[in-house]
Structure 1
Amino acid sequence: MGGSLLPLERGDPPVGPPVFLGECRVPLRDVLGTPSLAASFNLPLLDTRREGTGAFLLLQVSYLPPPGAIPLFPPAAPPEPAPAAAELDTGTEAAEEEEPEDPGVTGDEAEPSSSSGPPGSEPPPPHRPQTQPSLRGRRGRSSPKKPLANKPQDFQIRVRVIEARQLPGINIRPVVKVTAAGHTKRTRIRKGNSPFFDETFFFNVFESPSELFDTPVFITVVDSRSFRPDSVIGEFRMDVETVYSEPKHAFLRKWLLLSDPEDLSAGAKGYLKVSVLVLGPGDEAPLEKKEVSEDKEDIEANLLRPTGVTLRGAQFCLKIFKAEDLPQMDDAVVDNVRQIFGFESNKKNLVDPFVEVTFAGRTLYSRILEKNANPQWNQCLTLPAMFPSMCERMRIRVTDWDRLTHNDVVGTAFLAMSKISAPGGELEDEFPAPPKPPKASD
């Protein structure tokens, strides 16, 4: 949100196209820094060589948040040594040096997941409060870096499109268009609502930082089967300065929340996983970490969403009642070891079951019922999440706890979220009503 370029032309000339009169730059951060979200400007008009023409343009600019949205741009705080000033700064220049914040505490706060490990086993690592990262406020956590000279330099913008999930539509053939520095590149056409792309695009630019950092990057998903103007499925946009202000000048393997560019209140339009890098003179491209499994990836904490698009908090409550006829998992050798150390032998119930539930990178455990092949837990596990969720499956696993060796998996089942939390409409034939008993004849 560094600024906006406003060209001025003379309309309706006698002959030929409109005549260029001049241009001016509007510092939009000054608008967001006022309590009323409005500001007046008296700006000089510049010619094509960025020299003054002697004319001025009087403007009044206001920011109107989307209907129902909470104002997301608080007034800028006065310069203070306190670290809170970095959180309120929404327009830090790329040349400023700031104190880095904790990378795990950014964006809007979400409810942390409460995981309790089974007794006797190594407890899971403490789960930090989950967040929903937003483009708002990210510039306040940039790492200290050397100022860039305000002269034309070589920059490279890299965009890697990895995969998409939950794109709306039926029988769609999505293609991703990436627009940066005035150039547009497209991925190959895929099929389905959750396609995999894994394509990388390079944009080489020779511009000054003040010019380049205000340039937007558009990542748009369109349906290639439709030639209508409304074939856009969803879009995400950011400016180059937002990416360059990040540590290592990159967003690595981030999920983007797509939205309708014409109506932000329409909600989520799918998700897209990308890596975006902006490399300047002397910068080296950071290495992406090895892909973690879907069950271990905390997707909701790795989500970038545009300002004005919100997700609703939700809780999935899984009630665990009982299991029957669980198989024996401990062998006779373990049973003999127990007898040597004075434990009672019980070959019929050589299983200590507990239930492990994993969803969106979070894991919860039930209590352990020792030596019980027919356990009855009667326990409710609650998983906090954001709705609509981009995670499709909840993994439910029954595990045999073992004090001496590693835990053994008894069995695993998966529960599809689309079967229990559809965003709209009714699910047909998923839970058919039981037949009514026939009425007794007189």
Structure 2
Amino acid sequence: MTCPGLIISAPASGAGKTMVTLGLLAALRARGLRVQPFKNGPDYIDPAFHHAAAGRPSLNLDTWAMSAGQIAGLVGTRADANLTVAEGSMGLFDGVAKAGETGTGASADLAALTGWPVVLVLDVSGQAQTAAAIAHGLATFSPHVRLAGVVLNRVASPRHDTLIRTAMAAAGLRVLGALPRREAIALPERHLGLVQAEEQPQLAALLGTLAAFIAEHVDLDAVMEQAAGGFAARAAPVAVAPPGNRVALARDAAFSFVYPHLIEGWRRAGAEILPFSPLADEAPAASADACWLPGGYPELHAGRLSAACRFRDGLHRFAASKPVHGECGGYMAMGAGLVDAQGTRHAMAGLLGLETSFARRRMHLGYRLATLLAPMPGHSPKTRLRGHEFHYATITHQPDAPLAHTVDATGADVPEAGSRRGLATGTFFHLIAPAT
């Protein structure tokens, strides 16, 4: 059983999906509804904003990396909500060229799987009737995806609104709302997306403003009437193998990128999570039997991490007898050194020989399928793992043995194969789910 849902999507990134999603979540929550947020695809930052707006944790749903059973299990854990609102990624039909577990990762694939209709957010600045042609094309592109209606964003004037609404009506499309230009409502961005929710002291006020803005200009009753879904959610989620029975988890402003569904899955499997803060110079708990360093922004805190002697020494003591794994930023922090954007090298923990640099920035982005060559916490050799990589660091030195054979979504080899030394392991990709 599952509650009815909607997917908020757009023709392209930058149209206003996140703003509309957050405003809807906050406005419907203000009505007293239990609204469950989800995020299509591999994103860490948007779900934290969803959580703040809805008051309920947001989970990632990924058709490339997750089986239909895994997605059904995650949706099933949230079946007590009145409404599901899932934020799409990129453009509605944008995904990789080769399907993975359930699809290409496109928002349209999630819509087809779940039966959740799509609310299309259109940035109509610089166009009028052409917006209807774009919406009509998206509405008719796939028989498996149903368009519930459109929300017009950045409408310049009442005349502009009328022109577009008339064209939409002629195309048989419903306008659910029209948002005037409001440059004051903006979320600050960083190179991996929005600045994290926990870094924004005025977030509550901003969400209140967004809720009022959406409630004023979007027909919330009409939006709710369009929600649907014939998705057979699982009563019990698919099990997730934890790294250990007691997991020391780095958690602060430098290490915050970990998928909520993984932490929940570890807990459901019986694991206890023991958070600690490297930025506060804390070491992993000696009582833990595995340590996990998530991704984040170590490059923004490299000086503090380099000076965190208790953290570094404690990590070395831990790794002498128990496994430590790092993902992306955590992997870099486990290395020998990190060069920041200004060209200054900072000594890192030194569990691995990895040297990385942000002075030579190059974007690394995409899905990854890894076959382990050696064990990592929670997974044995030859296990196939699906994940995602997104960072701007360059490897300048990597002397250790590779952890995995890694390919991208097309099957092409990826040179960043992770590394291992003793009980320390690390990857640039973030684990989403084991491959079926």
TM normalised by structure 2 equals 0.24
In terms of fraction of residues, the more strand-rich structure is 1
Structure possessing the higher radius of gyration over alpha carbons: 1
The TM-score normalised by the length of structure 1 is 0.24
The structure whose residues are more often helix, as a share, is 2
